[in-house]
A and B are shown apart, each in its own frame.
Chain A
């Protein structure tokens, strides 16, 4: 993968430890416990990033959390973050409204590959909030749709009321050039969609392994079944890209918290090509 960046790719800020004020211009409730923000820099400057990168979001006096960027990186106006309420900081963030100002440090991390995978078929494998870090890549692929082969999205949620970005999934499903498979774990009687695991949806999708690149964002325990299903469909580990999660405090490989084997996930990840980490993946509590 020549030309694929090894670490923080673009826009490394001048002082990466100092939050830059951004104003919330839109708050959108997505699914229960999940909301999105549109953010605009207060200083009027720009903000360049690549799909798959993340920011550290700071709430004045409360704390900071690492959140992937989930908007369109060609959108010069705003950045979009989708946040799940998981702890005290995200809980406090959920009470903010349009006009409030938060701090942003970033962008950090190794992005998804785009140019190096021109010409391939693509399959996206994700579930629940895992669609958020993949959405910028999906947008980018759709911007350059003629550069890619088939595009398949396999998405799973727990029920029918927690399907993230449901409107967009419908939109993408309606396109003649994308295949969208949505599966749920449980559904009310009469539900006519697919019920079952994401891995089962991958097995059922028409993936031709030879020149397919796969992008996986699942919890760490659910990543392996997804990878196994991809292997079964003939997608080898060198063509599978995963994004992972660790505790992050700095974003620049300095605080040590996000180490995964020899890597600093904030800098060498969060996107990995699966064969880079396959030997570490099933070691417990690494």
Chain B
């Protein structure tokens, strides 16, 4: 059957395996969920046999565990420990290599000539898709597009999977990041496991997606299946107990000198985990290295965190010495100044920063506390 954009079709889990093989056959590496070191990670994926089949997850402040799922689903977990950012904007990127030439140097290679291979992302959640949209905005500025990101992003095929459940740290419904997938995908999937059946309801969102679906064995979705799929994100939203205050940007603007920052700093270890797992944090530093001869030099761009002391270093020392200043920078940037910079929030509500904080700091609670500590605009 030929599938067009917007058609709702059904295929079996065995066909998903074929889709993965088809993509590899086309020379497109598939990156998708796997279990490694007790967590779901997004890595190159050969077939559904490598996926977290039957695994589910639970998550809370400073807490993440894989647990046995109930229904044998392939996408029964909620989120990978790290998002897709590492595949679109790798933690280490070479900016250039250079060699000594006379009394100067010659550039041998620049980030612009990096011909990155295409990729297919399998299992992108709504919040992650929103996060990719945020990165698209961050890396595409007036007069300048980050060439490495643009090159990778332009060749990515996105196969999104809508959430049917939420975990304890999810708050995408209030942050605006999900749970419904509503754009930017090539194929959107809903996994339906019931009565011994295991199928996917698929919709193509692009010509690429439609062409891929047309190569699979698909049948039109039934009304019952369409209703089940539509109910999944509704249920995922209903299960969310955490909520991001819609007034967060204003609360933070009024809280720059709040005493509450010292309270957070009493708990925060400034480890930077939150910034490393955040799907939108984009800060980087550069590292210049040479070989032993001193005739070859390289510059690398590395993910950086606003929690390091070096981050704010200027001649004379670091500007943000105190943990409270660094925490304020992270939270205020993510939830408030981001709007001024990019016209959107830097937070999609994935909740990773809550789960992977070793002391369980919960940004939704910190906003609540800041509001109570005086960040309210007085209307409540």
Contacts and interface: CB of A to CB of B under 8 A. Distances in A.
A262 B96 contact: no
Given A60-B98, A87-B315, A259 B103 contact: no
Contacts of A99: 103
Interface string B291-321: 0001001000000101000011111100111
Nearest to A279: B256
B12 interface: no
A8 B143 contact: yes
A262 B341 contact: yes
A286 B261 CA distance: 12
Nearest to A62: B288
A152 interface: no
Interface stretch (A109-117, A209-217, A250-258): A250-258
A46 interface: no
Contacts of A101: 102-105
B370 to A, nearest CB: 15
B287 to A, nearest CB: 9
A8 B142 CA distance: 10
Interface string A225-247: 00000000000000000000111
B283 interface: yes
B325 A259 contact: no
Nearest to B146: A254
Interface in A166-220: none
Nearest to A100: B103
A286 B297 CA distance: 35
Contacts of A262: 336-337, 340-341
B98 A257 contact: no
B322 A17 contact: no
Interface in A240-278: 245-247, 249-250, 252-257, 259, 261-262, 264
Contacts of A60: 98, 100, 104-105, 297
The binding surface of chain B is classed by DSSP as mixed
B319 A246 contact: yes
Given A64-B286, A285-B320, A19 B107 contact: yes
Interface size bracket, B side: 35 or more
A262 B256 CA distance: 12
B144 A252 contact: yes
A48 interface: no
B322 A285 contact: yes
Given A12-B143, A102-B104, A256 B284 contact: yes
B111 interface: yes
A16 B144 contact: yes
Interface string B89-124: 000000110101011111100111000000000000
Contact of B325 (A21, A61, A249, A284): A284
Contact of B285 (A7, A255, A259): A255
Nearest to A6: B142
Contacts of B286: 64, 249-250, 255
B314 A245 contact: yes
Q: Which interface residue of A63, A86, A101, A256 has the most chain B CB atoms within 10 A?
A: A256
A253 B144 CA distance: 10
A52 B304 CA distance: 28
A23 interface: yes
A92 B27 CA distance: 47
A57 to B, nearest CB: 12
A86 B314 CA distance: 9
A131 B112 CA distance: 37
Interface in B253-275: 256-257
A-B pairs, 5 with minimum CB distance = A101-B104, A256-B283, A285-B325, A262-B340, A61-B297
Given A257-B312, A285-B319, 10 more contacts: A8-B143, A17-B110, A18-B96, A18-B112, A21-B105, A246-B314, A247-B314, A249-B284, A255-B285, A283-B256
25 contacts: A7-B142, A8-B143, A12-B144, A18-B112, A21-B104, A61-B100, A61-B105, A86-B315, A87-B315, A99-B103, A101-B104, A245-B314, A245-B315, A246-B319, A247-B311, A247-B319, A249-B284, A253-B141, A254-B139, A255-B283, A256-B333, A257-B311, A262-B341, A284-B325, A285-B325
